Amino acid sequence: MVNIVQIGEMGTELSAIVQEVSDRQTQIVIESAGKPVVAVVPYGYLMNLLEALEDTIDSALLKNAVESNDRFFSFEEVIEAHNQAHNVEV
Residues 9, 30: contact at Cβ < 8 Å?
no
Q: How many CA atoms lie within 13 A of 68 on its CB side?
A: 6
How does pLDDT run across 43-79, given as a tens digit for each residue?
999 999 999 999 999 999 999 988 888 888 899 999 9
How does pLDDT run across 1-50, given as a tens digit for each residue?
667 777 777 777 888 888 889 999 999 998 888 899 989 999 999 999 99
Residues 8, 2: contact at Cβ < 8 Å?
no
pTM (global) more than 0.75:
no
